[in-house]
Structure 1
Amino acid sequence: MTPTLRDALSTRENALNFVRLVLAAVVIFEHTWIIGGYENAPDIPLASWAVNGFFAISGYLIAGSKMRLGFREYMVHRAFRIFPAYWAVLVLTAFAVAPLASFVGGGQWQLGSALSYVGNNFLLSVSQFGVGETLATAPYPDVWNGSIWTLFFEFVAYIAAGVLLTFAWVRRHALPIVAIGFVGIVAAQILAHGPLEVTTNLFLNLLRFGAFFAAGMLLYFLGPKLRLRNSFAAIAAVLMVLLFAFDLAIWVGQLPFAFLMLWAGGRLPVRIGVKNDVSYGLYIWAFPVQQFVILLGLGGLGPWGTAVLSLLITLALAWGSWKLIEEPTNGLRRKIPKSWLGPRPNNQELARPRPRGITPQS
């Protein structure tokens, strides 16, 4: 029998990390045209949709994490997963990659700018993209990392999901509540770009990423009854093609797109990344590597050549990030005393009908 979505993704033996690895590689390939100053860039915003895929997968996984963990433990897990490798890429870019780039490309590195690059971006809200004049001679100057700005919205989504699913009443009625929230976010996005004419990027990005994240959450709660039939994936794929054809995909394509990402994670017979998840390191390190490859004068390899070279170099750095930073810090969080993290939710209690007037502890 075809497994349900929840059953297929309930263990580590799935292809979700491989899917995220592919999404990170897609971001690298599209950024190549921007960073290298090449002409004839792809017409489809592949990198944007790859990031949308990250948020859809995160929504599914984060919903499951919060249903298992108390709020404090959940937030500790999220912080340990995001910040250590992120801080490492900030520090190494500012004090190793950028100075070396100034030597190679003839730019100027400044200590004060390096310190402010780390300080201004320390808590995920990226407000400084360059380090001195180290990229003055690059085709895409003044931006050392054009990918990490999305991490702020990822962490905001973590907090929002964590707060929402902390309340016992919400947890008992999670499916309809998340469904209503998802529809509300989609409607708000359409109104913001339409009659409301919202121009604030912060608000527009919160709606865009929030819609894909909520789609992943909704599929988590639908997961026990939703089977991963190939026919469902075919229907979702055809629907996405039609939505792209009528320029509606970004407005109402979140749910079928999220299903395709999760279907691939549950059905593909690929186990790359099951034990060593290098997709996060690949995502946060790719942009600095690509800038440095261009500064070395290797742009003559063409967009595909520099993309492949950058991918190989970044994979090595991502492996180092996983082995030296991410995996050890993930293990370190398990050494935090349970008394500091608070109790875990009692899901059996939440699932049991209660006499009128009795409220479970949240």
Structure 2
Amino acid sequence: MSTELYHTHPRFRNNFDFLRLFTAVYVVMLHSYGLTGQLDNEPLRSWGSTTFNFSFVRLSLFFCISGYLVMQSAMRSTGLGDFAWRRLLRIQPLLIVVTLVSIFIIGPLFSSLDIATYFKQLQTWTHLRNIFPPTGIQYNLPGVFQANSVETSVNGSLWTLVIEERLYIACMIIFFAGSTGKRKAYIFLAIAYNLIYIINTNLWHFSDSIIINGNAAFYSLMFVNAGLLFHLNIDFQSHKKIIWLPLLLLLTLAAAHFKNCFFLLIFIVPCLVMEIAFSRSFLNRTARFGDFSYGIFLFSFPVQQSVISLTNGNITPIPLFAITILITLPLAVLSWHFLEKKMLSLKHRPWFKKIPPPSTSSEPRH
């Protein structure tokens, strides 16, 4: 990339790439403690509470960033096929690779079953469903990581993709069921979803459905409300950060402190994340050499489980984190340059009208 393009390209005028990378690396650290049974000893976790902790921070960043950028993708897409194609190109290629690696390499190497028996198990082949998370995730493979004392999942990180890709499908229905009024339809349905969640959570509990109750609904609303901010055309780049960032941070801490106000975080946190995302700093250049966040996210959990198995569980969080990063980062770099980047270059198919990218940020990435 030329120096001139580097300084003028939209993606280098925000912190979305940094926040994605931060979130991916923090997932590795969080799981390093969780998979060794020491989650309560994780240093940053001790600063928070049972609800407002650094897992909350990680998930909030993940869903807010995704919600905002996916709305951009939906609005620039020429139709259902264009939008679906963009999403599939971003999520599925590497997910297919990781799923196949799990079945045909990790499985035979770490299963307590012999290879012939392993491949005769139906569970081995139903693991292929992980290629398309909206149908649900299968976390285990026959006999694999069964000696790992804390967790036997091959890739426990994938649960977030179930929610995210189901939200993609919801976006498809909203944006492409009709030909006009997409923005207004989204705003109306987003407000309705918020009201139903708030009523069910705080005023009259009428349903235990995960759609409007619990963590899945809470983080789905982070996604939805971040998208709502995009549709409201708020110019976060022009805001005075010295005022808005401290104010939103204080509101976040206050809402988290008072149990009856916790639901307000679904509105406050997306605003805070966008203020951070649209701040100008040297961190804007994070993805100059590539976007490695998705590769780190997908590869890290199987790598951690493999390391724990090879060490018979005799490893502590910090060495596990260091070893995982040393293995995962090169895999993520290779994945970006030889797979993800090439797949994204196919996003404009001949039967889709090519539309210039928006001026506010980059093509949505995990």
In the alignment, residue 57 of structure 2 is paired with which amino acid?
Answer: W
- Aligned CA distance change for structure 1 residues 198 and 297 (closer, same or farther; 3 Å): farther
Is residue 60 of structure 1 aligned with residue 68 of structure 2?
yes
Residue of structure 2 equivalent to 1:216: 226
Superposition pairs of residues 301-320 of structure 1, within 5 angstroms: 301-320=315-334
- Aligned CA distance change for structure 1 residues 113 and 249 (closer, same or farther; 3 Å): farther
- Aligned CA distance change for structure 1 residues 332 and 115 (closer, same or farther; 3 Å): farther
Alignment check: 8 A CA contact 2:174 2:185 kept: no
Residue of structure 1 equivalent to 2:249: 237
Alignment check: 8 A CA contact 1:27 1:46 kept: no
- 1:228 is matched with which residue: 222, 232, 239? 239
Superposition pairs of residues 114-153 of structure 1, within 5 angstroms: 115-124=124-133, 125-153=135-163
Residue of structure 2 equivalent to 1:360: none
In the alignment, residue 49 of structure 1 is paired with which amino acid?
Answer: V
Residue of structure 2 equivalent to 1:6: none
Residue of structure 2 equivalent to 1:199: 208
DSSP 3-state at the match of 1:121: helix
- Aligned CA distance change for structure 1 residues 193 and 107 (closer, same or farther; 3 Å): farther
Alignment check: 8 A CA contact 2:196 2:212 kept: no
Alignment check: 8 A CA contact 2:187 2:231 kept: no
Residue of structure 2 equivalent to 1:95: 104
Deviation at 1:320, TM superposition (A): 2.0
Alignment check: 8 A CA contact 1:89 1:284 kept: yes
Alignment check: 8 A CA contact 2:137 2:162 kept: no
Deviation at 1:310, TM superposition (A): 1.6
Q: Which runs of 5+ in 1 are unaligned?
A: 1-8, 348-362
Deviation at 1:120, TM superposition (A): 3.0
- 2:306 is matched with which residue: 279, 282, 292? 292
- Which piece of structure 1 moves more, 146-155 or 262-271? 262-271
Alignment check: 8 A CA contact 2:32 2:317 kept: yes
In 1, Cα distance between equivalents of 2:326 and 2:271: 29
Residue of structure 2 equivalent to 1:358: none
Residue of structure 1 equivalent to 2:11: 12
Two-structure CA RMSD over aligned residues (Å): 2.9
Map Cα deviations across residues 71-93 of structure 1 (whole Å, 9 max, x no partner): 22121111111111111111101
Map Cα deviations across residues 24-51 of structure 1 (whole Å, 9 max, x no partner): 1222222222211226343554234312
In 1, Cα distance between equivalents of 2:211 and 2:180: 30
- 1:81 is matched with which residue: 74, 90, 97? 90
Q: Would you say how many aligned residue pairs link Structure 1 and Structure 2? A: 330
Residue of structure 2 equivalent to 1:188: 196
What is the TM-score normalised by the length of structure 1?
A: 0.80
In the alignment, residue 337 of structure 2 is paired with which amino acid?
Answer: K
Map Cα deviations across residues 226-280 of structure 1 (whole Å, 9 max, x no partner): 4332111111100001111113575221232122222222214211124511111
- Which piece of structure 1 moves more, 153-162 or 176-185? 176-185
Residue of structure 1 equivalent to 2:271: 259
- 1:269 is matched with which residue: 277, 282, 292? 282
In 2, Cα distance between equivalents of 1:257 and 1:82: 25
Alignment check: 8 A CA contact 2:139 2:155 kept: yes
- Aligned CA distance change for structure 1 residues 343 and 249 (closer, same or farther; 3 Å): farther
